[in-house]
Amino acid sequence: MNERLLSTTDTGDDWLDAGLRENGREHRAGYLADCGFTARVMAMLPAPAALPAWRKPALAALWTAAGVGIALALPGAYADIAREFLRLVIGHPVSFAQIAAGVLALGIGSWAATAYALRRD
């Protein structure tokens, strides 16, 4: 690898780069009239591919159905988890500030996930 740092004024042995750089300095501010060529080319480009409008609601419905399906497929495990959670919450003294912080954290997480899922690509 080359250890030497090249600056924009260091042309080294390459006369072609030096000539192009000098020519670029002379004509950098000049305007090149294209008689509408750029506008015609841009008008002929195809429209960007857009995702179907039903994609995001369909994904939300599929994730909801998957969550409900998992909850219904594992009723014993769901009840055990709920029972253990209640035992933990009831057996452990919790202040209002801790509950508020937990609810706030869940809300922020939910809104962040929703914003991520509904973003426009």
What parts of the chain have a pLDDT lower than 70?
1-13
- DSSP alpha helices (H): ranges in the chain? 15-27, 37-44, 55-73, 75-91, 96-117
pLDDT, tens only, 84-107: 888 887 887 878 898 899 999 999
Q: Which two tokens stand for residue 31?
A: 């305007």
User: Within the chain, what is the greatest distance between any pair of CA atoms?
Assistant: 81
Residue 4 has a pLDDT of 46
pTM of the full structure: 0.30
Residue 10 has a pLDDT of 56
